[in-house]
């Protein structure tokens, strides 16, 4: 009796959500990611992929490939998180136990498919994809096989918006002709090593002797990969382990060069990670600050508290105490804060204000790039609008209204919409949601008081679903 493991992957998830909630973008080459000079593609629609664009590619390169037809959309994490939550709720209802790998993919081993035929598996998978499409509007692909590896490869072959089933007795026929890079775990280095000895396909790797594999790839990782190439995969489908670390980091389009800029960036990252910590429901003992310089060198420093806490001021003070600055390190392009040592039990301390004080170490002057001319000054508070990280924007301040392209907005007469363009004191808005179909476009003065920032999640138009859950701070 064959074991059936299924892998589901939401097709071009970020871009698909954008096309769903902004119907004007349907069938257009959508690029989701940062729009600054260092922006990276977080997701690309299949229309954009046809031009060679893909995730993790520099945004400027993706735009070059797609050309003038490209639609660049800044990421909306809250919308993707909400959509993912609904999708995987549906999957859990049908499959029972799932192993969610990320915001858009998971393994399943449904009890209903024990002893099933390939046709049964295909029918079950098609039904699940249909329900997801009907309830959310989002496409998905499902692969099925006798283990995780076969299922993962099969879902890739099913894309886009399809099902691919690999019975165990057809594993060699269906999987062995594929490039060895299709194996989950065969990265560029492994592929280069195999190519050097004339191994290009999964079947060629499977045909090697164990000794040849050990010599070429190593005795542990190499043998594991070799067994997977033969269809040997007994790994269980199990829920992912509880998070050991919670973090937030931002890459800035312009290098940070002052103490004030770094402190503001650290504060922002610490607060972002803290929001996730509160959702997790645990306290943290260890605070880690990560800085990436303009030359891509990374500096990381950590400090551990004697107790676990979710007190923002304590955690933020500890992060600021770990800061290093451009006069020591040079220009800084990325700032991140992470919390670890997570514990459910949190301790109330007698004098928490003592841990809320920022204690800065003496500046480090023993480094290769030079000697500091002056010591870092004290902390200076900053705001997101003062330093615009890539992929983010600000609706404005108390004194001036600032808009950015693809921002969600609300108008009392036209409802929910998104900004298609702004400049010269004019804002162009497309009013539409998932429920409206392609909407109308209108232009407004940038200081029009009727035009207000909106909650991006409202673009899903899932009022009944959202009313039934606690969305929280996504």
Q: What distance in Å separates the CA atoms of residue 339 and residue 299, rounded to the nearest whole number? A: 16
Peptide bond into 160 cis (omega under 30): yes
Q: What distance in Å separates the CA atoms of residue 140 and residue 16, rounded to the nearest whole number? A: 10
Q: What distance in Å separates the CA atoms of residue 269 and residue 100, rounded to the nearest whole number? A: 26
Cα angle: 82, vertex 284, 353; to 5 degrees: 115
pLDDT for 373: 30
Phi (first) and psi of residue 300, to 5 degrees:
-135, 130
Nearest Cα neighbor of 8 from 181, 145, 179 is: 145
Q: Is the dihedral of CA 267, 270, 276, 279 positive or negative?
A: negative
Asked whether the beta carbons of 47 and 260 are under 8 A apart, the reply is: no
Asked whether the beta carbons of 11 and 36 are under 8 A apart, the reply is: no
Residues annotated as part of the active site: 105
The crossing angle, in degrees rounded to 10, of helices 13-21 and 77-95 is: 110
Q: What distance in Å separates the CA atoms of residue 366 and residue 372, rounded to the nearest whole number? A: 9
Q: Scan for tokens 């301040």, then name that residue.
A: 397
Q: Scan for tokens 């691919």, then name that residue.
A: 164
pLDDT tier at 2 (50, 70, 90 boundaries)? confident
pLDDT for 290: 93
pLDDT for 391: 36
pTM over 0.95: no
Q: Scan for tokens 């899932």, then name that residue.
A: 462
pLDDT tens-place string over residues 310-343: 889 999 999 999 999 998 888 999 999 999 988 8
Tokens representing residue 277 in the block? 């910590």
pLDDT for 242: 66
Phi (first) and psi of residue 440, to 5 degrees:
-85, 155
442 burial via Cβ count (<10 Å: 0-12, 13-18, 19+): middle
pLDDT for 34: 83
For the chain, domains (ranges, CATH) are 1-168 (3.30.70.270), 176-229 (1.10.150.20), 245-354 (3.30.1490.100), 393-474 (no CATH)
Q: What distance in Å separates the CA atoms of residue 415 and residue 421, rounded to the nearest whole number? A: 18
pLDDT tier at 428 (50, 70, 90 boundaries)? very high
The answer to which of 190-199, 214-223, 276-285, 364-373 has the lowest mean pLDDT is 364-373
Q: What distance in Å separates the CA atoms of residue 358 and residue 366, rounded to the nearest whole number? A: 23
- Residue 353 DSSP code: G
pLDDT tens-place string over residues 6-23: 999 999 999 999 999 999
């Amino acid at each position: 009796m064959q074991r059936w493991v299924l892998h589901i992957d939401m097709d071009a998830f970020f871009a698909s959500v954008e096309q769903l909630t902004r119907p004007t973008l349907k069938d257009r080459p959508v690029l989701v990611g940062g729009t600054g000079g260092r922006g990276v593609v977080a997701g690309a629609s299949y229309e954009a992929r046809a031009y060679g664009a893909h995730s993790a590619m520099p945004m400027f390169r993706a735009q070059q490939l797609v050309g003038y037809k490209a639609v660049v959309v800044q990421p909306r994490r809250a919308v993707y998180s909400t959509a993912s939550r609904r999708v995987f709720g549906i999957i859990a209802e049908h499959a029972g136990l799932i192993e969610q790998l990320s915001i858009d993919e998971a393994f399943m081993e449904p009890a209903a498919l024990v002893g099933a035929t390939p046709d049964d598996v295909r029918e079950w998978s098609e039904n699940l994809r249909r329900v997801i499409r009907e309830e959310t509007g989002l496409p998905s692909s499902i692969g099925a096989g006798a283990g995780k590896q076969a299922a993962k490869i099969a879902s890739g072959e099913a894309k886009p918006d399809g099902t691919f089933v690999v019975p165990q007795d057809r594993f060699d026929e269906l999987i062995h002709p594929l490039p060895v890079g299709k194996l989950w775990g065969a990265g560029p280095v492994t592929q280069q090593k195999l190519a050097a000895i004339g191994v290009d396909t999964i079947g060629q790797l499977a045909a090697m002797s164990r000794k040849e594999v050990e010599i070429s790839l190593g005795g542990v990782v190499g043998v594991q990969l070799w067994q997977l190439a033969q269809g040997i995969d007994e790994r269980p489908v199990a829920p992912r382990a509880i998070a050991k670390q919670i973090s937030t980091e931002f890459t800035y389009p312009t290098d940070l060069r002052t103490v004030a800029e770094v402190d503001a960036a650290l504060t922002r990252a610490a607060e972002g990670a803290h929001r996730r910590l509160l959702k997790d429901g645990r306290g943290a003992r260890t605070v880690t600050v990560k800085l990436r310089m303009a030359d891509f060198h990374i500096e990381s420093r950590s400090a551990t508290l004697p107790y676990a806490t979710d007190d923002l001021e304590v955690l933020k003070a500890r992060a600021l105490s770990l800061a290093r600055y451009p006069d020591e390190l040079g220009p800084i392009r990325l700032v991140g804060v992470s919390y670890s040592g997570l514990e459910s039990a949190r301790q109330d301390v007698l004098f928490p204000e003592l841990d809320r004080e920022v204690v800065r170490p003496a500046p480090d002057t023993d480094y290769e790039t030079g000697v500091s001319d002056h010591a870092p000054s004290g902390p200076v508070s900053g705001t997101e609008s003062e330093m615009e990280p890539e992929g983010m924007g600000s609706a404005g301040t108390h004194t001036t209204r600032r808009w950015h392209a693809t921002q969600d907005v609300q108008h009392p007469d036209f409802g929910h919409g998104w900004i298609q363009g702004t400049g010269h004191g004019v804002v162009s808005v497309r009013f539409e949601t998932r429920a409206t179909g392609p909407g109308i476009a209108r232009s407004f003065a940038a200081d029009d008081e009727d035009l207000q920032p909106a909650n991006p999640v409202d673009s899903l138009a899932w009022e009944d679903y959202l009313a039934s859950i606690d969305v929280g701070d996504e």
